[in-house]
Structure 1
Amino acid sequence: MTKTFWLGVIAFGLLTWTVGCARDNPAAPSDLNLSAAQGPLSELTTTSYPIVTLQPDLTADPPLVTVRAGDPVLMINNSAQFVRIRSSNCSEFSAVWLNPGASKHTWPFSPAGKKCDYFVWNWPDRVFEGQIAVN
């Protein structure tokens, strides 16, 4: 009886925690909230960071981007799948997980002279492959 009671309490606690944490919360200040936008995106963007768009045909556009040291890159997911940007030689992509239609900035790139390859796993293939060159 006691064991069943405590298992029920633990299950209820986990359920409450899961439901409570499943709400949409802001992930980071760099997230672009287009639903709150009051004008065209060109009027709302105050910086000229490079933009990489993940296309429905599983390519990155443009695949090669140059960024100044200390600047991020805005990644936009126009595909129909959830993506997690990965890189084997740079950590600036470590926080870029995108739902379809979402966008997010990478971490700022540094130092100058670095080249960062990125991709998304669509096992066993790599898709959305590209490279960021830091100046």
Structure 2
Amino acid sequence: MAEEDKEFWAETPTDSDLACHLTLVRKKGICIYGKPINEVFPEVPEADFRSSICSGIDYAVSVLRSNPIYGILTLCRVLSYLETNEIFSKREAGLWALPKLPNHLTYIVIHAVEVYEGTRNEMIDINEDHLEEYSTLMKSHIDSAL
């Protein structure tokens, strides 16, 4: 290994999503060529998977306004896993989370799911107070599930 290679790897940050991605590949992936997925990708310890998905909570909250579909459905997905130990798609997690929300906030998730699945072209304007309430409520549910 060349000296500059060592410097590159020493300065490269870790990817906190890697444990999540590996787990998703092993649980939901489809092999289209080559060895079976479980022979190629290692099993991720549960604690590492949970740490990986939880590391994205603050980012999901921070992008609720700029990338609402990602932020809204990621919070649903994290909570659904923490409470069920099942890996849901973003669509499935959004639908799963609806009963956790007060009625006046369900439109946020419903519209995000519809845009995500392609049955709606764009996200509607979300009341700022509702978005803040959604964020606070989801973080509270997540904290309670940890």
TM-score, structure 2 length as denominator?
0.30
With a CA cutoff of 8 Å and minimum separation of 6, indicate the structure with the bigger relative contact order. 1
Answer 1 or 2: which has greater helix percent: 2
Answer 1 or 2: which has greater strand percent: 1
Larger radius of gyration, structure 1 or 2? 1
